[in-house]
Amino acid sequence: MTSARHDIETRDDCERLVRAFYGRALTDPVIGWIFTDVARLDLEAHVPTITDFWETILLGAPAYRGGAFRPHAELHLKAGLRGGHFTRWLMLWSETVDGLFEGPRAELAKQHAQRVAHAFHGRLQTLPGPEAPAPVASSAAGITVTLHGGPPPR
Protein backbone atom coordinates (compact mmCIF):
# COMPACT_ATOMS: atom_id res chain seq x y z
CA MET A 1 0.00 0.00 0.00
CA THR A 2 1.42 3.38 -0.97
CA SER A 3 0.99 6.58 0.95
CA ALA A 4 -1.25 9.30 -0.49
CA ARG A 5 0.95 11.92 1.09
CA HIS A 6 3.90 13.48 -0.72
CA ASP A 7 6.36 16.19 0.16
CA ILE A 8 5.67 19.91 -0.22
CA GLU A 9 6.78 20.60 -3.79
CA THR A 10 4.82 23.54 -5.22
CA ARG A 11 3.19 26.84 -4.31
CA ASP A 12 -0.14 25.04 -4.54
CA ASP A 13 1.09 22.63 -1.84
CA CYS A 14 2.05 25.61 0.35
CA GLU A 15 -1.38 27.16 -0.15
CA ARG A 16 -3.11 23.86 0.57
CA LEU A 17 -1.18 23.64 3.84
CA VAL A 18 -1.95 27.24 4.80
CA ARG A 19 -5.67 26.89 4.07
CA ALA A 20 -5.91 23.59 5.95
CA PHE A 21 -4.09 25.08 8.95
CA TYR A 22 -6.31 28.16 9.12
CA GLY A 23 -9.37 25.95 8.68
CA ARG A 24 -8.40 24.42 12.00
CA ALA A 25 -6.91 27.46 13.74
CA LEU A 26 -9.84 29.81 13.16
CA THR A 27 -12.22 27.48 14.99
CA ASP A 28 -9.78 26.29 17.65
CA PRO A 29 -11.08 26.85 21.20
CA VAL A 30 -7.64 27.93 22.46
CA ILE A 31 -6.36 30.28 19.74
CA GLY A 32 -9.24 30.81 17.32
CA TRP A 33 -10.37 34.00 19.05
CA ILE A 34 -6.98 35.60 18.39
CA PHE A 35 -7.55 35.28 14.65
CA THR A 36 -11.26 36.08 14.60
CA ASP A 37 -11.82 38.57 17.43
CA VAL A 38 -8.44 40.28 17.84
CA ALA A 39 -6.76 40.15 14.42
CA ARG A 40 -10.10 40.07 12.59
CA LEU A 41 -8.26 38.07 9.98
CA ASP A 42 -9.47 38.40 6.40
CA LEU A 43 -8.47 34.91 5.32
CA GLU A 44 -8.71 35.52 1.58
CA ALA A 45 -6.46 38.59 1.87
CA HIS A 46 -4.04 36.80 4.23
CA VAL A 47 -3.62 33.49 2.38
CA PRO A 48 -1.47 34.86 -0.50
CA THR A 49 0.90 36.58 1.94
CA ILE A 50 1.35 33.63 4.26
CA THR A 51 1.64 31.31 1.25
CA ASP A 52 4.43 33.59 0.00
CA PHE A 53 6.13 33.21 3.40
CA TRP A 54 6.04 29.41 3.33
CA GLU A 55 6.92 29.23 -0.36
CA THR A 56 10.02 31.30 0.38
CA ILE A 57 11.00 29.14 3.37
CA LEU A 58 10.24 25.74 1.89
CA LEU A 59 10.87 26.17 -1.82
CA GLY A 60 13.42 28.96 -1.89
CA ALA A 61 11.20 31.21 -4.02
CA PRO A 62 11.81 34.92 -3.42
CA ALA A 63 8.08 35.48 -2.88
CA TYR A 64 7.89 36.91 0.66
CA ARG A 65 9.21 40.38 1.37
CA GLY A 66 7.31 41.30 4.51
CA GLY A 67 8.25 41.49 8.14
CA ALA A 68 6.53 38.68 9.99
CA PHE A 69 7.21 39.87 13.54
CA ARG A 70 5.44 43.24 13.53
CA PRO A 71 1.88 41.90 13.06
CA HIS A 72 2.48 39.45 15.92
CA ALA A 73 3.80 42.24 18.14
CA GLU A 74 0.64 44.25 17.42
CA LEU A 75 -1.49 41.22 18.34
CA HIS A 76 0.49 40.77 21.54
CA LEU A 77 -0.15 44.37 22.55
CA LYS A 78 -3.88 43.74 22.13
CA ALA A 79 -4.21 40.19 23.42
CA GLY A 80 -1.14 39.33 25.47
CA LEU A 81 0.16 36.31 23.54
CA ARG A 82 1.50 33.65 25.89
CA GLY A 83 3.54 30.49 25.62
CA GLY A 84 0.41 28.34 25.56
CA HIS A 85 -0.84 30.15 22.47
CA PHE A 86 2.39 29.33 20.65
CA THR A 87 2.31 25.73 21.88
CA ARG A 88 -1.20 25.31 20.53
CA TRP A 89 -0.29 27.00 17.22
CA LEU A 90 2.65 24.62 16.83
CA MET A 91 0.52 21.58 17.64
CA LEU A 92 -2.10 22.53 15.06
CA TRP A 93 0.57 23.37 12.47
CA SER A 94 2.45 20.10 12.98
CA GLU A 95 -0.73 18.02 12.88
CA THR A 96 -1.81 19.77 9.70
CA VAL A 97 1.58 19.23 8.04
CA ASP A 98 1.61 15.55 9.08
CA GLY A 99 -1.94 15.02 7.86
CA LEU A 100 -1.18 16.33 4.37
CA PHE A 101 2.51 15.81 3.63
CA GLU A 102 5.59 13.76 4.36
CA GLY A 103 9.19 14.29 3.38
CA PRO A 104 12.12 16.63 3.99
CA ARG A 105 10.22 19.86 3.24
CA ALA A 106 7.32 18.77 5.43
CA GLU A 107 9.82 18.26 8.26
CA LEU A 108 11.38 21.65 7.48
CA ALA A 109 7.92 23.25 7.72
CA LYS A 110 7.55 21.91 11.27
CA GLN A 111 11.12 22.76 12.29
CA HIS A 112 10.92 26.30 10.94
CA ALA A 113 7.59 26.85 12.68
CA GLN A 114 9.21 25.82 15.96
CA ARG A 115 12.10 28.23 15.43
CA VAL A 116 9.76 31.10 14.53
CA ALA A 117 7.42 30.43 17.46
CA HIS A 118 10.32 30.26 19.92
CA ALA A 119 11.92 33.45 18.55
CA PHE A 120 8.64 35.38 18.44
CA HIS A 121 7.60 34.31 21.92
CA GLY A 122 11.00 35.35 23.28
CA ARG A 123 10.87 38.75 21.59
CA LEU A 124 7.27 39.35 22.68
CA GLN A 125 8.21 38.81 26.30
CA THR A 126 10.23 42.03 26.10
CA LEU A 127 7.12 44.01 25.12
CA PRO A 128 4.33 45.12 27.42
CA GLY A 129 1.10 43.18 27.18
CA PRO A 130 -2.39 44.65 27.33
CA GLU A 131 -2.45 44.26 31.11
CA ALA A 132 0.76 46.23 31.62
CA PRO A 133 0.29 49.53 33.44
CA ALA A 134 1.00 52.73 31.58
CA PRO A 135 4.44 54.18 32.25
CA VAL A 136 4.58 56.58 35.20
CA ALA A 137 6.38 59.85 34.63
CA SER A 138 7.44 62.39 37.20
CA SER A 139 9.36 65.61 36.90
CA ALA A 140 11.70 67.10 39.47
CA ALA A 141 14.26 69.85 38.90
CA GLY A 142 13.74 69.67 35.13
CA ILE A 143 14.52 65.94 34.95
CA THR A 144 11.83 63.57 33.72
CA VAL A 145 11.97 60.01 35.00
CA THR A 146 9.85 57.46 33.16
CA LEU A 147 9.19 54.05 34.70
CA HIS A 148 8.95 51.32 32.06
CA GLY A 149 8.64 48.24 34.26
CA GLY A 150 11.06 46.10 36.16
CA PRO A 151 12.67 47.01 39.45
CA PRO A 152 13.99 50.53 39.91
CA PRO A 153 17.76 50.95 39.53
CA ARG A 154 19.78 50.67 42.70
Q: How many structural domains is the chain composed of?
A: 1
Gap between the Cα atoms of 61 and 152, Å rounded: 48
Domain membership flag for residue 62: yes
Domain membership flag for residue 153: no
The mean predicted confidence, pLDDT, of the chain is: 83
Domain membership flag for residue 152: no
**Tell me: the pLDDT tens digits for 129-153?**
665 444 444 444 444 343 444 444 4
- Residue 97: burial class (beta carbons within 10 Å; 0-12, 13-18, 19+): buried
Radius of gyration of the chain (CA): 19
Domain membership flag for residue 91: yes
Domain membership flag for residue 57: yes
Task: Give residue 75's pLDDT.
Answer: 83
Which range marks the domain in which residue 110 is found? 11-147
- What integer is the mean pLDDT of 46-57? 93
What residues have CB less than 8 Å from 145, skipping those under 6 apart?
137, 138, 139
Domain membership flag for residue 1: no
Task: Give residue 127's pLDDT.
Answer: 75
Gap between the Cα atoms of 93 and 53, Å rounded: 14
Domain membership flag for residue 6: no
The CATH number given to whatever domain includes residue 68 is: 1.10.490.10
| Residue with the larger pLDDT of the pair 114 and 124 | 114
Q: How confident is the model at residue 77 (pLDDT cuts 50, 70, 90)?
A: confident
Gap between the Cα atoms of 20 and 34, Å rounded: 17
Gap between the Cα atoms of 132 and 47, Å rounded: 32
Domain membership flag for residue 2: no
Lowest-confidence pick of 12-26, 46-60, 65-79, 125-139:
125-139
Question: For the whole model, what pTM was predicted?
Answer: 0.77
